[in-house]
Amino acid sequence: MSKAAKLSRPYRVESGKKFRLKDYDPADTGGLKLEKDHAAELLEKGVELLASLQDRLYAQDKRALLLIFQAMDAAGKDGTIKHVLSGVNPQGCQVYSFKAPSAEELDHDFLWRTTKCLPERGRLGIFNRSYYEEVLVVKVHPQILAGQKLPPEVLSKHVWQERYEDIASFERYLSRNGIVVVKFFLNVSKKEQKKRFLDRLVEPEKNWKFALGDVAERKHWDSYMAAYEDAIRATATPWAPWYVVPADSKWFTRLAVASAVIDALEKMDLAYPEVDEAKRAELAKAKVELEAEKG
């Protein structure tokens, strides 16, 4: 395992059994105390490594990597996606954001809209929010579930357990198709979120990011944390691990996420496609032809 991949290991959750959110400190920086510039330099190196791995993923065209980002508002999802993926070839990368479902989406099963957006072989797919909202915001606000047009017989007290099972089975299915799933919970503290909301109110160039509804959601903070803990406990597996990434320091969040993506890619057997004898002869012939061209 490379040094870059190691940084994220303490935040990786592969089994839900002993998982407790309170064991993960949002302010953790992995023992590093970095100046802004140094952190940016390190991230740049990580991004370069990530880009070269992604190039091989694309060339090999067999596997795909799906990165799922979940977090409370202002935890830094957008900035992390932007910075960590800044160096990758846009042709090999697809980003989708999932907001409250449309009328058309509500006419389907809950995995429908995200399934349509899964990455093709050779690609890196990013979900900014995902089907996990179905056991997060929907669990915190039961009236959303009531509006999902579900028949009464599926709305038993087992509905959350059943959704966890369906999600876990779906991720197992993806892994058995060569799609590696890695899930991130950007773990911001309630205090840091307040600070970031206040910044959005005070700094004119950040005003656009402020939504009144976000402050209302803070009132449900504990329910959200309980829902995250339950979801992670039920769906953390070796083939679709969660990373509970400290998110009070943006520079560290970005480094840790880059590290986890590098780890996932390094674990895949990403070699450039083999060139066989016949192909080699073809290439040699093309070279001779090109060199013989006049002008």
Map tokens 């009132």 to a residue. 219
DSSP 203: S
**Residue 129 interacts with, from Mg ion, ligand ATP, none (CB under 5-8 Å by kind):** ligand ATP
List interacting residues with ligand ATP (CB under 6 A). 73, 78, 98-101, 128-129, 133-134, 137-138, 144, 211
**Residue 192 interacts with, from Mg ion, ligand ATP, none (CB under 5-8 Å by kind):** none
* Complex with Mg ion: residue 73 or 134, whichever CB lies closer: 73
* Complex with ligand ATP: residue 71 or 180, whichever CB lies closer: 71
The piece of 69-77, 78-86, 103-111, 238-246 that touches Mg ion (CB under 5 A) is 69-77
d(CA 129, CA 184): 10
d(CA 162, CA 170): 12
**Residue 160 interacts with, from ligand ATP, Mg ion, none (CB under 5-8 Å by kind):** none
* Complex with ligand ATP: residue 128 or 235, whichever CB lies closer: 128
- List the interface residues with Mg ion, window 73-102 (CB under 5 A): 73
CB of residue 103 to ligand ATP, shortest distance in Å: 13
CB of residue 51 to ligand ATP, shortest distance in Å: 25
d(CA 213, CA 209): 12
DSSP codes of every residue in 256-272: HHHHHHHHHHHHS--PP
Asked if 133 touches Mg ion (CB under 5 A), the answer is no
DSSP 182: E
**Residue 34 interacts with, from ligand ATP, Mg ion, none (CB under 5-8 Å by kind):** none
d(CA 30, CA 14): 19
d(CA 279, CA 285): 10
CB of residue 209 to ligand ATP, shortest distance in Å: 7
Task: Give all strands of the β-sheet with 64-71 in edge-to-edge order.
Answer: 12-13, 242-246, 179-187, 64-71, 124-128, 93-97
Q: Which residues bind Mg ion (CB under 5 A)?
A: 73
